[in-house]
Amino acid sequence: MPDSPFAPSLLLRTQLESHYRAHHGWLAHWLQRRLGNAAEAADLMQDTFARLLAGAPLQPQTPALRAPKAYLATVAKHLLINHLRRQSLERAWLAALAALPEQHMPSTEQRAQILQALQAVDAMLDGLKPKVRAVFILAQIEGHAYADIAAQLGIGERSVKRYMAEALTECVLLAPDLPA
């Protein structure tokens, strides 16, 4: 039975298996040194190889196959940054919860939903261009007026409005993915 047009060829699958055997040990060790946790490192290492398998159709000239160690390190580094960002966000959320009076404490389900929403907003903000993100944070989180933001960032108010429109568009696009 022939492979589907989207599945890696037998040769490429063999190469991927070979790269996994050759590089999973050092990658797990590299991640463990940075995380200090073998279980989390193993999870991120598996996610790294899963990204390789789930990526675009692989050809012999694909960077993942030409320079597998460098490619895997780059993918793992991005996954590690996202993992650490999520952990930081979760710690901040738990600290905010600890400061709440008992009568205002959300349920376990609400806490999980809020954390999921925070992570989605954080990912959306991370995807914005730096100036757009700065404008959005200054306006929506810090409460600055557009004129103040323009002066602080050295841009015109018209640019502030354009950047806010761009950020708010991303928020609207994100809204269907947030928990109800």
Supply 79's token pair. Answer: 């996954």
Whole-number Cα distances in Å, 119 to 8, 81, 123:
33, 13, 6
Helix ranges, 36-156 (H): 38-54, 63-66, 68-98, 108-127, 130-136, 146-153
Identify the residue with better confidence: 133 or 13. 133
pLDDT over threshold 70, residue 11: no
pLDDT of residue 77: 92
Whole-number Cα distances in Å, 166 to 114, 136, 170:
24, 9, 6
Whether the CB-CB separation of 34 and 51 falls below 8 Å is answered with: no
Kindly state the percentage of the chain with pLDDT values over 70: 83
Closest CA to 42 of 55, 32, 52: 32
Supply 18's token pair. Answer: 């070979």
The model's pTM is: 0.64
